Structure formats: structure tokens, C-alpha cells
Chains A and B, each alone.
Chain A
């Protein structure tokens, strides 16, 4: 996700950190780098300007210049300001006290509205809610069919009346159906529209007026560029949306649009879509995202994901082991298997601390699922004692493991070495220490 931005900030700040003391010129240079990185991350030009001005002021004003470790101070300030900009605390949907909660979904063409509707339905159904979907995109060919198919997968009822009727009428009719059917939530899908298309924006306002939604959500593509502010401002003005669903975050877009939209409209990002599968919609965590921007990874999200596929006790145990450096190769194997349950390897690795840079290297060494098969074979060829304490693996053991796993002694060596570095690194990260980028790189190879 925000990997490249984290890399960039880490680079900038590591220079500052290595110098020990921070001068105003240092701050200026760091701010220039941050400005460039943010622009490349598609944060809006104006937002970037005010953001860097603010950070600079705090860097200079907070007595940072005399601080013992100024680099880390800057990291902290940038982190805090980013988190503040991203939205402070996360917000929940506003549910109706009685009758169906109505959620209106709006956005540009191709931002992922229909998919977001189905994913949201799935997410709410998981909480035990009875969810209905209203097919009010009568514009795009086959949009209704798409919602019907995806609604089925989500286990939601889909209310559709084809494409001939007025979407405003369909929305109202669907609400009546939802009421009669005793549903808890009705999600209204609408046609994608340009924010400058007066007629279609009027229609959206009409739907809003007619069904009086409890929440209006703007669906925003994470890859959106500078224009995100114009889109958000227009939609905010016309339909007064309450929050944002950020889509396509599983790509490598830096997602600066998310920062811009929050800064310009003040509306929080509530959900983030992180994959093609219907269950890949998550709560958006601004603070975590800010940490991620700074390359401090997202241990919390990772642990949350692990919880979903394992159980809470195991996750707590894992966290404890990571902290105490008691993480064994058995745990690693278990994790690897769980990771594969979570989805494609790259998605999951993106959540891990410092993996931004490492990911690029991974691609070079082809760290894909086949590689995982190989690692698994090596670990399985070890005795239980070896898995707990890999330091006992001497020359003859190595040969045996290599033979047993159908790999080479070098491959076994590499795994043992990598594992030792990884264990140390993970413990550091879990204790909230900034990883040393150089060491991180070594650890990954």
C-alpha cells in the first residue's frame, strides 16, 4: 500500500538520523523530500504545501534541534501530523434505531461501487445483519446483473426492477421492500457519475432526498490523482457524504488521494478494500495507516488478520513470542500456512513492517508461493528440537535436512540465517523500535 512513500521517508530521515543533530537546513531538506514523496504519492498539491509547512513549524518549534535523537523526533512529528490529517479516530456507520439502516453508495465510474456494495453487504451480514441491495445503476450495461450475481455471493437480497424505471423510484420501492421484509440494512448502489454531470448529480440528490439515507458513502479509487479533491468537494457539496470507502488498496498506489480527501472535506475514510475477494473489505485505520506511511509497518492489522484465520489466543501467544524472540520455526511454519490462507503472499507481506523495500527484493528472488513450498519442505525435514533452536543445526544436520527436503545445503543455511535475523527484527518492531534499514535489507536477503 503506502510502501513507496514509507521507503522514501525512511531514506530521507535516515540521512537526518545519521547526522545526530538537526539544523534548519536539514529540516528544509527533509521537507523537500517529503513534499516530493507526497506529490508522487498523489497527495494534492495544496494539501502537501500546508502539510509540510505545518510539520516544519513543529519540527523547529518543538525544541527538536537540541533533542538527543532528532531523526526520531521528526519521524514522530510527521507520523502524528499524518495521522491527524488521515482522520484521527475511525468512525462507525450510523445505524438506524429502528427499521432498515439505509446506506447510499456514490462515486465516479469505475471506482468500484458495485463491488464495494457487495463487500459491505458481506461484512454486515457477518455481523448477523439482514442486508438488502438496491440496484439503482440503470446506466451502465449489465450493472444490474453484476449486482444480482455479487449480491447472491454476499448472501444479500437484491431488489432490482431492470433498467427502464427511474432510479429514484427504484430506490424508494426497494426501501419499501426492505421494510416489509424486515431487513436491517439496505445498501443502495447507484450509477457512476462525473461530479460535473449536473443531471446525474441532481438524480443522486433526488435519491438522497427520497430514501433519506443514514449514511452516504463516497467510493474512491486509491489510485486517483490530483483530481480527487475536486471529486470529493463536488460530492461533498451535492450529496454531503459521511465517509469514504477507499478501493483498490491492494495495488501499489500510494493512496495519497486518501489524505487529500480527508484534508479537504473533513470526511473520514471508513472502509478500505484490499483485494478481489468478496470478504476483502476492512475497517480503515488512520493511525495505522500513518505508521505504515512512515515504514513502521502495520503489525496491528497483521495480527488482526491472523486472528481471523486462527483464534485470539493463538494471536496473543504469537505476539508474546515475537516480543520475547521465542518465535520458533514451528511458529514460522504455522504462520506461513496461515498466511497462505489470508490470500496472495504479496498482500500479506505488504502489511509487515519494513516490507516495502523488501518486497522489491522478494520479487527478485522470486519469493512466491513456490518458494514457500520449498521453505516448508526444509522446515518439515527438521526435527522438532531443531525447529525450536535452529542454532543446533550443524554441518551434518544441514546435509541431512537438505537431503530430506530435496534442496541444497545452501538453501538450508540461508533459511536458518534469515530466520535468526527475522526473529530479532520482529522483536524490535513489536517493541516499537524503528528498524535499521540497512539491517533490514540484510535480513531479507
Chain B
């Protein structure tokens, strides 16, 4: 999956160097990092797992997927299906079984050719999630890609008025990426800031508005209500806005991720997931459960702290990484 495919635009910016890198190399880093988790866990799928297809194989496969945070339900579905197909004689040999496993996982994780909808002008992208998942960092990186790779004019709305120094953090990122910031005061009304940011984007002829919001636990009803209001303000100000509402999920998150996604979807109608911190040993299997159960596609992945460490999500790549290929 390339950025051009994801956003449906041609690269025009000056900084397109990494597209020259062959796809194999682009994911080498991700795979290299994921390799560490294999060493750390020791319960991974060994190359010879599918040599014998018996009860033990399925147990070990289940264990590996559960350890990757895929969750009991999705794991049972995938393993059950693979087992059935093997027993029915549809799959012969370890190679076929392995490829089929990747296929099944990818089908769970991916929605066919996900797109980041940026055709409106300005397109409004709202970014939400629980505390500490990496919303501000993701926004900084996304602004950078859109600005430098596609030459888009980006306005970021600093609508996290709650956390101390969140506005300053976003401003630092904006400076690095060359995006413009619309900000209010700490404790200010986040809806008003999003409103102002859309107005500013229109006045300046900007292409994209990315709204940062305060991290909030999905169990705090009043904070979720506030988030709904921010969304309504955006929708009122501009028809069709927000065009994208992304929930940022930390790859280290366990099964609670599904609850998070459900609660946020209810409050603000999510359009996709940004899965962050995939550069650790956590594999982010919860994203597969979210995509599988809610039909909510993962669109972006974060694999590091650098400004270039945001990538379009590729279901097959992800599935392979999940089973340690």
C-alpha cells in the first residue's frame, strides 16, 4: 500500500524520497522491529509449525494469536476456519496452510483498498482516542506527509485544551512539518477552535484541517458528549465535515481496544483506525479484532518517533508480521 493509493492523490511535494525505495525495503524496518518480538516471546510460530497439522498445531497457533492480542473470539474464528479447511482437504502441505492463514488474517484485518478521504476542500480530519495513544504525534506526522509529499496546505486545530502543554506539543510538531496552527487558550472550548480552524482554512485556501482532540477514556460520558459536540460544530460549519474521523489505538492495547473503538464510534462515527507504537514488541492484534468485528478499517500505522514513521496500513503485510514472517 502506497500513500498515493491511500489518499488518492499524486505525489507533488519535494519530499518523496521514500517512494523511490522498493516496497520490500520500506517494510524491512517494520519487519526487523517485529522480529525482536519473536525473540522476546518464544511462543511464536516456528517455520516448521505446519509440518504436521494436528491438535498441537492449532493450539500453538491459538497461543501465538492470543499473545498478539488478537483476542479469543477472533482467534477462534480464524483458527477454526483454517482447521476446517485443512480437514476438508482443501489445503495440502505446510506452505498452503501458511499462505491461507495469512489470507484469513488479512481478510479480518483489512477492508479492501481503504482510502483516506481528502477530496473536499478543505477536508476535515478529526483525530480521537484515549489518553496516551499518540494522537498529537500521529497528527504531526500526517501533516508532514500531506504537506511535504503531496504539497497540501495543512491547518492543524489544537483542540486539546485539557492536557497541560498539549498545545505546545502540537505547535512543535507543526513547526517541524510546516503546517499552520489554529489555537485557543488552555481550558478553552474545543468546538470553537475547530470552528475557527475550518474558517481559517477556507479563508487561506488550505486543503486539509486536522483536528487534535484531548485524550479521554471512553467511559467518561460527559467527555464523550463533549467530543460529539465538537463533531457537530465541524459538521455545522462545513457540509460533510469531518470527512475522516480516526481513532488512534496504541498497539500495546489489549482487548479493551475494542471497547474503546465501539464507544468512540458511537460518539463520533469513526471512519478508520491509526495503529501506533508498532515499533515495540506489541503486535497490535487488537486492530484485527476491531476491523473484523466492527468493519472499521485500519488506515495508518505508526512505527517510530520520527516524522517519517507513519505509513499506510497494508493488511497482508500486517498479517505476515502478526504470525512472525
Total interface residues on A, CB under 8 Å, equals 49
Interfacial chain B residues near A39, Cβ < 8 Å:
66, 72
- How does the 8 Å CB contact mask read for B107-130 relative to A, with 1 for contact and 0 for none? 000000000000000000000001
Residues 99-118 of A, flagged 1 when their CB comes within 8 A of B and 0 if not, give 00000000011111000000
Consensus secondary structure, chain A interface: loop
In the complex where A141-B173, A142-B172, A196-B36 touch, is A227 in contact with B252 (Cβ < 8 A)? yes
Asked if A195 and B254 make an inter-chain contact with CB atoms under 8 angstroms apart, the answer reads: no
Among A41, A141, A149, A223, contact of B130 (Cβ-Cβ < 8 Å)? A223
Interface string of B200-224 (1 = CB under 8 A from A): 0000000000000000011111100
Expressed in whole angstroms, the Cα–Cα distance for A133 and B206 within the complex equals 42
Does A231 sit within 8 A of B, measured CB to CB?
yes
Nearest Cβ on chain A to B228's Cβ, whole angstroms:
15
Is the beta-carbon distance between B169 and A250 smaller than 8 angstroms?
no
Instruction: Point out the residues of chain B lying under 8 angstroms from A195, CB to CB.
Output: 280-281
Q: Are B217 and A45 closer than 8 Å at their CB atoms?
A: no
A44 to B63, CA, bound (A): 10
Question: Which B residues touch A41, using CB under 8 A?
Answer: 255
- Confirm or deny: B132 has a beta carbon within 8 angstroms of a beta carbon on chain A: yes
> Given the complex, which residues of B lie within 8 Å of A253, measured CB to CB?
254, 256, 259
Which of B66, B164, B286 is the one whose CB lies under 8 Å from A145? B164
A109 to chain B, nearest CB (A): 7
**Chain A residues closer than 8 Å to B43, beta-carbon distance:** 45-46
Which of B72, B165, B254 is within 8 Å of A146, CB to CB? B165
A170 to chain B, nearest CB (A): 17
Shortest CB distance B244–A (Å)? 22
Among residues of B, the one whose C-beta sits closest to the C-beta of A44 is: B67
Q: Which residue of A lies closest to B68 (CB)?
A: A226
Residue of B nearest to A257 (CB): B254
Q: Are B257 and A223 in contact (CB under 8 A)?
A: yes
Contact indicator per residue, chain A 215-252, by CB within 8 Å of chain B (1) or not (0): 00000010111111011001000000000000010111
**Chain B 21-46 near chain A by CB (<8 Å), digits 1 or 0:** 00000000000010011001101000
Per the 8 Å Cβ criterion, residues 162-221 of B in contact with A are: 162-169, 171-173, 217-221
**What 10 A-B pairs have minimum CB-CB distances, sorted nearest first?**
A225-B254, A110-B132, A42-B254, A141-B172, A149-B164, A145-B165, A146-B165, A142-B168, A142-B169, A227-B282
User: Can you identify 18 A-B contacts, CB atoms within 8 angstroms?
Assistant: A109-B132, A110-B250, A111-B132, A140-B169, A142-B167, A145-B164, A150-B164, A223-B253, A224-B254, A225-B257, A226-B282, A227-B280, A227-B282, A248-B130, A248-B217, A251-B219, A252-B219, A368-B221
Interface on B for A, CB 8 Å cutoff?
33, 36-37, 40-41, 43, 63, 66-69, 71-72, 130-134, 162-169, 171-173, 217-222, 250, 252-257, 259-260, 277, 279-283, 285-286, 305
